[in-house]
Amino acid sequence: MNEENLKIAKIKKSCHAGKIVSRILFVVVVIFTVLGIVGGIKVLRMGKDFDDRINNGSFAGIISTSDEIGSASAIKINLGSLPTEIHSDIPAVQAALEDHPMSVMYGSYVLFFSFVFALTGVMFLLVSSIFATIEKEPNPFTVKVKKRITTVLIVTCVILALTAGTAFTALGIVITWVINAIFDYGITLQTQSDETL
């Protein structure tokens, strides 16, 4: 029995550390979300001035708009159609696309990634609450913990769908299904054990 108590104490200690780390990551992600929203709006508001600065920097060799550093690719982001190829039925949006396409493109992408950071923040907040629940409750196989873990995994699948593509999203869905099955099994065993006692 003493060995089991030591194992439980180690698990609770790990959960406490996980709770602290996930809360720190939540704060970091919130900061990046706010910076991204402010930056994205600023880029959109700069409009033509932003495009002029990018073009002047590119011409001077100070700025590179490619996704490569030297001969190595740093970040490969498929930007899709260029803003000049995108058309809108809203006259103000179409005028912005024609007047300052780079501002619209980069500002929109910064705002999009801010949304992804916000989803990641929600995920870290839920993970923190899962660690806190497991730390307090003697039995982690509860419906409450299962719901929170399922929510975290669904948010992760949404983030994967927005950023990584369908293959990773499919993998995330399979992992969500497997973990749900494990929790259902654990909850059933715990219920049977409680009824036996």
Evaluate whether residue 173 is within a structural domain. yes
Whether the CA torsion 93, 98, 100, 104 is positive or negative: it is positive
143 and 111 fall within a common domain: no
Evaluate whether residue 94 is within a structural domain. yes
d(CA 101, CA 47): 8
C-alpha distance from residue 119 to each of 46, 144, 155, 163, 179 (Å): 27, 21, 7, 12, 21
> In terms of Cα–Cα distance, which of 140, 107, 101 is closest to 11?
140
Q: What pLDDT, on the 0 to 100 scale, is given for residue 23?
A: 92
Q: Report the domain count for the chain.
A: 2
9 and 104 fall within a common domain: yes
State pLDDT tens for residues 36-61: 999 999 999 998 898 888 778 777 77
Q: What pLDDT, on the 0 to 100 scale, is given for residue 197?
A: 59
- Residue segments in the chain with a per-residue pLDDT below the cut of 70: 1, 63-86, 138-141, 194-195, 197
Q: What pLDDT, on the 0 to 100 scale, is given for residue 65?
A: 58
Look up the pTM and report it. 0.70
Quote the domain boundaries for residue 173: 139-197
112 and 156 fall within a common domain: no
Evaluate whether residue 130 is within a structural domain. no
C-alpha distance from residue 35 to each of 39, 49, 64, 169 (Å): 6, 20, 22, 27
Evaluate whether residue 133 is within a structural domain. no
What are the E-state strand segments in the chain?
A: 68-69, 72-73
